[in-house]
Every structure is written in C-alpha cells, then in structure tokens.
Chain A
Amino acid sequence: MDENRREFLKKSGCALSMLALATQARHFGLMSAMAQTIDEKTQDAGVPSDYRALVCILLAGGNDGNNMIVPNHSDANISNYAAYSATRAAQGLAIPQAQLLPVAVPRLGNLTYGLHPNLGTVAGGVNNGIHELWAQGKLAAVVNVGNLIRPMTKAQYISNPAWRPYQLFSHSDQIQQQQTSRSDSPVPIGWGGKIADRIHASDNPNGRISMITSIAGTQLFTLGQSTTPLAIRDSGTPLNEALILYSKTCCNDPFSNARNAALAELRTVDLDSQLVGAASHITNQAQIAGNALSTFQEVTATFPNTNLGRQLKQVARVIKKRGDLSINRQVFFVELGGFDTHQNQLNGQNGQNALLVQLSQAMRAFYDEMGAQGMQNKVTAFTLSDFGRTMNPSGVGGNVGTDHAWGSHSLVMGGAVMGGDFYGSTRADGTGNIFPTLQLGGPDDIDSGSGARGRWLPTTSVEQYAGTLARWFGLNDADLAAVFPNIVNFPNNNLGFMMP
C-alpha cells in the first residue's frame, strides 16, 4: 500500500474509505487491502422522538447559478452588478438589474443580491414563488459549492492535477459526484443511501417502507449498500395506486389467487443467479411498499401541474402518511432535468428561465403544504446540480447559452433553515469572499488568459453542504465521518445554515 493511500485510510478512519478504494477496483484490477464490513456500524441508541425529512431536488444538466443569484449592488470591493453585466450583457444573457428580486445578505455586510426574476411572482403562477421566503428567513443559499476532494487555490489546482475531482466538466461524472459526494473515485452508492444504511434500522425500527423514496427512479443518490429506494411515480398517480398489481386488484377467485401466490413464490427460487435474485428483490420491495401505501389522504396546498410540481406533491402525500408508515426519518429524491443549456437558455419551455419558474412554484407549493401539515420545521428541501455553467456565454442573442463549468449556488428551504443569508467558505488561502469574483481568468476562475470562460473553483464542497444537512437529520460524528470520508479535509463540517 502506498503512502498516500495509507494516509487516506488513516484520515478517514473507517470502513467506507476502503469501499471507496475498492469500488470498481475489479475493473481497475486494483488489489486493495482488507476492508471492514460496512454493516459493522455505530448504532445510535434509541429511536428519535420527532420526524425529520430531507428532500433532494436534483437539477439535472448543470444549473447556471450565475443567473440564479446575481450581485445587485455597486460595491467596488466585491463583484457587483457591473462585473456581472460586463461578461454577459453583450451576448444578451445578463438579466437587467431592475428585474432582479432583491435579497439582503447579512454575511456580506447586508449588501443586496438579486434572485432570478422567475423565483418570485410570475404570470399564471399558483403562488408567489420562493423569493419571499428569503426575507422570512426560510430560504438560504450555499454559494460556490461544488465537487471537491480537498480545499485548494487556483495555483494549487493548476499544479496538482491529482487534487482535482475526476473528470471535471463531464456530466455523467459530475452528477455522480454530487450524488455520492465522492470526487476521488466512483462508488456505486450515494450519500442518501449511505445515510439510510446507517440509521434506517435504528431510527425507523418499525418502518413499513424504505427510508428513501424516489419519485425519479433508482438513482445513485438513493442507493446504499443495504438500501434500495422506494421508487414511485409522481402525483399523476394516486398514492394508493402507485404500486398495485392489476393481477391482484382485478379479481378474487381461487384461480387468480393461485396465480398471485405463484407470482410471489417464483421470486423465492432460482436465486443462484444474482441477477435473478436482484430482480426478484426489487419486486418484493414493491410488494411490501404497495401494501403499506394502500390508503392515503390528499394534500391541501395547490401544486402546479408540472413535472416537478407533481413529484413534490407525491412527496408531500407520503409525508402526510408518515404516522401510518411508522417512519421517523425520510429522505426523498426528485429531479428536474433540462438545465444543460448550451443554447436557448432564455427561451422556450426548456430554457433555464422556464425551469426556474417550475422550480420556484413547485418548491413554494411544497413549503406551503408542509405548513398546512404543521411540518415546516421538520422538512428541509435542498438542490443539487451537476455543476455550474461558464460565466462567459456560448452563442449570442436568441440562441445564447452556457457551457459546463464547476462551482455553483444551491438553495436550501425549510423552517429549520437559518435562511436569508449566504453560506459557504472563502478561498483555501483565506482571501476573497464567499461569493466568486465573476472575473474571467480571475482568482476564482480555473481558466486563465484571453480564452478564460469563467469556471469557478468551488470554495465549499458538496460534502460540507451535505454534511450540514445530514447532521441536522440526525447523524452523529462517527456516522458523518463514515458517510463523508473526505469531509475531514475541510476546515469545518457544519456550514451553519441549519438550526441546531
């Protein structure tokens, strides 16, 4: 074992690091040393007395954070609106200052920043959007957050290729890293799944469904070693019909009952094949969950009838049913795609402008529904995205878009959020502000020279961001270190945006 690896093992101090090393090692031909089994985990004593849920909203394709949160001030000591406008106005991508929705940022001397206009009141909206939650202290932004293995400056980025996350700017790899929190090597399980691996048994001892529910299929975030998600359709399907077998609901006679009995029994044989076993296991999980979801109560808030609106409505229905499901801790996963706006970022149903309307309207409806259920302080929603996008646009005019970049901004919403502020770290050498300079080729841009596109080097890692959420959710220090093995590389594992 080489020195780096030993150091790495020592630091992370837990089995998961071995898993990381070993993952895909089969493909690498890596001969790694022994790992402990992951299930020898620290057990928390006792079942929590309250309910908490995390709702992960994945903005797939790479959301352009640079147009989601914009400086709306003229302070010359920090990137201001003019700096933003200078890089985007000529191509037609800059949002006019008057249209920005102002938010005060105490962390930055109460300077005013602006949210994208579509995060507020919009024509045809079913609510006022999420902008006003900022002033209410229920919406926060984690700025310039991204996939990182360790903190580094631009100079360190340039001189230490090994410190970089693997395959920067590649969708598939960066969206994986957001979901696994692991930028050092690919692993087949995500941080939502890993959280569930560690506390589902202790916190949901009588839970009738998986700790994780996905309305967007079985994605990496939702997979643990012993955890597979409950995957159901959006609210277009009533919850009690989300998992039904027509073979069962159609008929009740001896012949049909024998069919359904055989259907279940066939899943108990021929398990020598691990693939047959895996397929049967998934169907078994569906059967168990389908029984648990056989009744439900409709939610009361008005949700927009959009892709994300229907997903979050289904989440709200499951939360409403939490008592019946005997579940105290839940993680949800929803996804809104289309953010890969290489072109037409401003236009059409698939441009970022339209997607942000959808995001804001759906999030606000969800927030209001949690209020109606009395669960606002118990449920926290947050966004992930592959990466940010280049500050420098691609194309011009009606076609204008942006290319793949790195650090970006995320939103966190809920009653337990210390909202109304920015969170994150300054550069690894302590210089600068938590908000990137927006200067092409500048200290926050990993590009240099005349061709610099503005790809921000994140100052805060996904692990810090996720770790802060996971701590609120109920993970102790040992669990945090296990789920987020690189978090020890960073100065703090709590960004402070969640109430204690």
Chain B
Amino acid sequence: MKGFSPFSVTERAKYTVFWLTALLFCSASAVTAQDENFESSDPVLISEADSVKALAVKPESWRGGLPAPNAEYFSPGSRVIVFVTNVALAADEGANAFRAFAEDARGKKFRLTVENVQQLKKQDWIYALTLQIADANGYNGQPLENSGVLINVSWRGNVSNRVKLSLGKEVGKFPDTTGLTPTPAPSARLNQTSLYSPVGDRRRFIEQATFGPTDALDARLRRIGLRRWIEEEFAKPYPSIPYPNFPLKPFDGTQGCGVYDSSPEVNLCHRNHYWGYNNQKWMVQEALYGDDQLRRRVSWALHQIWVVSQSTVYQQRWMQEYIEILDRNAFGNYRDLMTEMTLSPAMGEYLDMVRSTKANPNENYPRELLQLFSVGLYKLNQDGTLQLDGQGNRIPTYDQDKINQFTKVFTGWSQCNSGNNPACPNAVVNAPNFIDPMYLNFPNDHDQTAKTLFDYAGAPNQTIPACTNCTTDANRRAYATDSLNKTLDNIFYHPNVAPYIGKLLIQHLVTSDPSPAYVGRVAAAFNNNGAGVRGDMKAVIRAVLLDPEARGSRKTDPTYGKLREPLQHLTNFLRAFKVRAGRNGTNSPPAACQNRSDGVFDWVTREMGQEIWGPPTVFNYFPPDYVVPGTDILGPEFAVNNTGTSFSRINQIFFFSFGNIAFSPSTTADPYPYVPCGTEIDLTEPTAWMTADPTGNTLIENLNTKMMHGTMSEAMKAKIRAAINFSVSADQKAKQAIFLVATSSQYQIQR
C-alpha cells in the first residue's frame, strides 16, 4: 500500500497556512475564555491506490479489513461496503450520523441509505460503511444498471471527496471526474481538521441563535466564547422593549373604542387594542434591537410550534399574554409550558377549549396538543426516525378513541370573568379576561367519568378514575385540576416528545433536515439535562446550538441549511447594517425615535409571505414536513417561497437597499402616523469601504464576512465585482453590492 496522499500539494500547503493562522489567532486571544475547536473534519472516502475508483467490497465477500482492489461489480439495489476515514466518531454516532449521495452521468442525484458503520479492528482510523445502492425516497428514480456513479458521504454537515462506483457488469458512463484525485487508505490516523475559521463559526452561531449578526455581538462572542454567551443570555432580563400592554377591551371594537373613522383618536384606539400593529411593531423592534436575542429567537420558535394566530386572537393584549407565556418558558421546563399554554385563554380561544364542555366536548385542542405540541402522529425512535411494524408500516401514536378520551380531560375550562373571584385578579367588567389562566367557572361542565390515556411502557397515569367525591364545587375543581396535571404528565413522559420537539427546534434554529444522529443528541438532552431533569429547555438549547452538526465555520453537505423565513431574512439583513429610523427626504425622524426603526413594516413581511403573529392556520406559517420542490429534502420555509414571494423578497430588499421606509410626520390630518419613525440601513460604513478600496474587494470581503460568514464563493464575488465596476458614486456601488448579496439564494439559505 502506498503512503497517504489524499490531497494535492497545493491543498496541503493551504492547510499548513491555515494552521499557522489559527495558532496566531489562539495566542492572540489567549486571555479570553475560548471554547474548544468546534469544527468537525471532512470525511475522506477511500479510493484505490492509483485511481478515483472507490475501494469497495460486497458485504458477502468482506473479511473485516481493508479489501484488496477487486473486480467485483455492484448492482442497483444491492449492498456495498466503502471505507471512510478522517472522522472521529462519538460514542453515540452510528449509521444515522452519515448520509451518502450518488450522482450519475445524467446528473441525477440519489440519496443512498447508510445501513451500518463498523470501525476496522487493525486500522481503527478507518470505518466500513455499508450502503444500499438505492434511493429510499426514489424521488429521482433509482441508479440504473450498467451505469457509473460518483458517490460521496457526509458527516455532521461536511461532505467527503467523491469516488467512482461502477454499477453492473458493463462499465457505464461516469459523470465528469475532472479535479478528483485518488485518496488511498492512509497508514495512520489523519487528524486533519478542515479549515476552521472562528469568525465564520461565530457568525454562523449568531445567525442560528439571534435575529442576525452584528459587529457588537460578534465582539462579545469573541471575548467570552459561545458557551458563556449562551449562559449569559439565559440570565438576561426580558423583554428589552416593554410589552405594549394595552388594557383589555370588550370583544367588539365599536363597543370598546367607538365607531371606526369617527375621529383620529377612535382609530388610534382600534389600532392599539384590536389590531396586530403593536405586537408586530414590538416584535420587530425586539428582533432588531433587543438584548434578549436568544430568548427572543427561542420564543419565536416556540410560537411556531404552539401556534396561536392574531387572525382569531385579535386584541393586542390577548396575544401579548400568549407571547409572555412563550417568553417566560423559553428557558424553563417544557412541562411548565404545557400547563401554561393549556390554560392560556388565547390558546383556549384559538383552539376552542374555552367552549368545550361535558355536554358539548370539542376535540380541537386535545387533538392539536397531541399532534403538534407534544408527541406527533407516529411513534418515533429516539433519533426521530419512524418506528415501523413488522409490515414496514408506521405506527400511529393514537387513534380517534384516544382523542375522545383525552378530550374529556379538557372540558369545563373557560375565561375567568367573575370580578369577585380571587382566582381571577385581572378580570375586568365587560371585557373577557385573557390575562388570568382559564378557570372552572362551572365545574359541572367538566367530564367526571374515567379516562384511558397513553399506555406506553412506564407511562404515568394510564387511567384517570372517575371522580368519587364530586359533591361540591371545590371537589369538582380539585378533580379537574388534578386530572389535567396527570394527563399532561402522561403526555410529557411519552418517549416521542424528546425527538419530536427536538427536531422542530433544530429546524427552527439550525437546519431543516438534520441527521437522525443530531436529533438523537438533542432528544437525549431533552430526556435528561445531565441532572436527571426532563424537559429542561436550557439543556435542549445548548444541545441544539453546540452540536457538532450545528457548529463549524462552513457546511458543505448539499442538503444542509434552511431557507430564512421572511422575518429572519429581513432582520438579518437590516441588523448587518446598523438599522435605524428612516429619513424622509432630507428631514430627520422625530427625536423621540432615538434614531431607531419603529419596527413598522408589517406589509413587507406579509408581501414576502409571512404575517407576523398571524400564521394562517395552527399548522404555522409553513408546515415542518414540507419538502423542497424538486428535491427530497425537508424545507419548511420553502412552503412560503413561490414564484410570487421569491420576487417579493427581491423587491422588498430592493426598496431597503436603494431606498428606505420614510417616517411620516405627525400632522393635523394624521396626528398618529402609522409609521412614526421609519426604517433604513446605514450605508456609511459600506460606502467608506468602497471609497477606501475602489477595486471593491474590501467591500465584497466585508459583506462576505458579515452576511455570509466567509463562505461566499469566488464565482459569486466575481459577479458582484463586475456589477459594481462602473463610474458611479461609492454609495451607489455599496447599495448595488448589498442588494445583490441580500437577494441571492446563497444568502437566503442559512447554512
């Protein structure tokens, strides 16, 4: 066997240079608290000694070590063992930590199934991967007999080199192999970490944990490291911008404020109390300027799991109370969130629990509680993959009978409207009480018969017996409350909850289609925070954000990442350029604006496909199982990206790049302008970069760092450079470049 030379000389040189840089960086920042190197290495798929042909063997002929090059051929549908190195597998990483891809000469891409991983005994730096040469999904059909494919594998979001694999007896046509070099088996462990850029990883982390990187956040992270920053965020006060806090009003706006359009004050009253205006504005301001970024981001993710929409819950204060529950529990325990949400009047109104009684039970809330907020429809393995029965079918977690049983538990609760009841201190006359938790006003409306709940192994409270002492209202209330708590425990301890919720949080923060291994690690943190506590959100968040599949300065797996939802697309873009209040011609916004954006651009996100706080259904702005058109990759946010909204994204960024949202002055005709401060980006810095370096390289490199954490391709840079190579002013060039980066698909995909 020859010595190892997987990379060309120049590539090796690059590694050396890189390591020097990294060392310099580390010594320069030795005084600060640094995290470990979060980068995972790039897997190397082993080829034969002198070619880029995969070193491969059939499982039935494999004898446990590295095989000699052989003349075996592999058929579509059969198994093949290939060999991978330069990976350091954690104890819990198995086949579910790897993905394998194949591409044929027609350009068709397939995802192969990785069935098994086995460490070689002698050369323990090499792993044997058993692949089935079939696309489990079959979306692009299947690899064909007598064809040549290039295969590669990915691990933790990093993709390996590609090697050739012949399918069938006749050697088929291969895709272009230009640039591929042989990667024969190394004689020792490689220990090659890929190019680690701490600044790239920090910026990526900020994209995942906040509403967009800023230089200040980056500086803070550089100083204290990711782990400490997370702990710091856990302890921060919230919210940074006070909740709008308008008092409760009657159901009817005319009753609460007067006839709309009868005076500017009446209209203001409607806008403040009955419209989404203040909550949207507050949310955007929090996202743009809030210091409680991690809580805001997690709370926003929880909103998209525990969906309530202002389309039904239309008063400002009603939604605020719901938002406060999300905020309060973002770093708490999931079980507490379940209780608070269940008794939330907003949720009660949205999913009809407020109207569910023994005589007229309503199954809406219990059904969605199970389907969307806790266990999901099908039994899951702990890594989030589906359990299958002997016939290969999915196994439902519950049926209609079970829904009927759970429904009984949630009967009898309604808004706490009685003014002299100490249980509802916030009740006011003539307005429904959306502040205090729901209450058993009429305890006889609660179904007091026995209920049969989940009976998974170890399930607490598998049955709730009928009430035996419901002779007084106090006893009836005690029974209903106790039943509710027991039922929520019965749901909370279901083994599905950890992988189900864990995967959703990964999708919202990091990547749409995580590997099962990643889901499994997060689920483990949900199941046990290390101190025996289940449902500890802090442990879950740490696991999501610090996972090796989340971390690293760039990810090369073709399926990795997520489309930024419209709100994230906008806030990431605006925060990158010191977002501020929007001038109106040469007029500056009022002093009260403190040169900050008012956060009023609800129509902008709506145009882009997302009404803030107003998802169209309980299935959120976009469903978690949406598959990206033309692929077999999960991509929830793609559900709101179509021909129309993809142009809207570009158009709205165009307005912000070359124009602004100008503030409206207060006038006699319009004393309470809808847009009191406006919004714009600050072009001072980008213009200065352009002025200082007329080649545009400084500008482009800065945009690369700030917006794309250093992953902008040379091809992309060249196209932007060409588009600004004109005799126009520096600020025009800066706008042009910013527009092109911010509208690019490369930027819209957070990866």
Contact = CB atoms under 8 A, between A and B. Distances in A.
A107 interface: no
A357 B558 CA distance: 48
Interface string B574-586: 0000000000000
A262 B740 contact: yes
A8 B292 CA distance: 55
Interface stretch (A29-37, A112-120, A146-154, A319-327): A29-37
B394, B643, B740 interface centre (most CB from chain A within 10 Å): B643
Interface stretch (B198-206, B258-266, B621-629): B621-629
A37 B145 CA distance: 13
Contacts of B269: none
A82 interface: no
A33, A263, A337 interface centre (most CB from chain B within 10 Å): A263
A280 B642 contact: no
Nearest to B732: A255
A342 B141 contact: no
5 contacts: A22-B137, A246-B651, A275-B628, A342-B364, A396-B360
B407 to A, nearest CB: 10
Contacts of A258: 722-723, 725-726
Contact of B630 (A23, A30, A228, A395): A228
A165 to B, nearest CB: 12
Interface string B548-572: 0000000010111111000000000
A337 B583 CA distance: 40
A342 B132 CA distance: 48
A34 B355 contact: no
Instruction: In the A-B complex, list the 4 residue pairs whose CB atoms are closest, starting with the nearest.
Output: A37-B141, A231-B642, A262-B723, A22-B138
A25 interface: yes
B715 A270 contact: yes
Contacts of A188: 139, 627, 632
Interface string A452-474: 00000000000000000000000
Given A217-B609, A282-B643, A337-B616, A19 B745 contact: no
Interface of B: 76-77, 109, 111, 113, 115, 132, 134-142, 352, 355, 360-364, 367, 371, 377, 381, 385-386, 388, 391-394, 396, 399-400, 403-404, 512, 556, 558-563, 609, 616-619, 623, 625, 627-633, 635, 638-647, 650-651, 654-655, 713, 715-716, 719-720, 722-723, 725-726, 728, 732, 736, 739-740, 743-746, 748-749, 751
Given A32-B136, A34-B134, A278 B630 contact: yes
Interface stretch (A49-57, A170-178, A476-484): A170-178
A61 B311 CA distance: 14
Contacts of A32: 134, 136, 138
B650 A245 contact: yes
B651 A247 contact: yes
Contacts of B367: 169-170, 404
A285 interface: yes
Contact of A217 (B139, B362, B377, B639): B639
Contact of A282 (B512, B623, B646, B743): B646
A45 to B, nearest CB: 24
Interface in A134-167: 161-162, 166-167
Nearest to B404: A451
Contact of A30 (B136, B560, B632): B136
Contacts of B746: 266, 270, 273, 276
Contact of A31 (B113, B394, B616, B632): B113
A398 to B, nearest CB: 11
Contacts of B386: 27-29
A218 B642 contact: yes
A23 B396 CA distance: 17
Contact of B650 (A161, A254, A255, A263): A263
B564 to A, nearest CB: 10
A36, A173, A403 interface centre (most CB from chain B within 10 Å): A403
Contacts of A36: 141-142
A26 B643 contact: no
Contact of B619 (A23, A171, A233, A254): A171
Interface in A271-319: 272-283, 285-286, 289-290
B745 A28 contact: no
A232 to B, nearest CB: 5
A27 B387 CA distance: 9
A255 B633 contact: no
A26, A232, A280, A451 interface centre (most CB from chain B within 10 Å): A26
A12 B398 CA distance: 30
A337 B720 CA distance: 43
A160 to B, nearest CB: 13
Contacts of A250: 654
A415 to B, nearest CB: 30
B465 to A, nearest CB: 20
A243 B137 contact: no
A172 B744 CA distance: 32
Contacts of A71: none
Contacts of B631: 274-275, 278
Contacts of A229: 642-643
Contact of B141 (A38, A246, A254, A272): A38
Contact of A35 (B115, B142, B745): B142
A5 B390 CA distance: 12
B740 A342 contact: no
A2 interface: yes
A404 B403 CA distance: 12
Nearest to B370: A170
A24 interface: yes
Nearest to B135: A22
Given A269-B716, A342-B362, A168 B400 contact: yes
Contacts of A259: 723, 736, 739-740
A37 B363 CA distance: 42
Contacts of B360: 393-396
Contacts of B139: 19, 23, 188, 225
A162 B643 CA distance: 39
A272 B556 contact: yes
Contact of A394 (B142, B362, B644, B715): B362
A94 interface: no
Contacts of B561: 273, 275
A243 B643 contact: yes
B136 A25 contact: yes
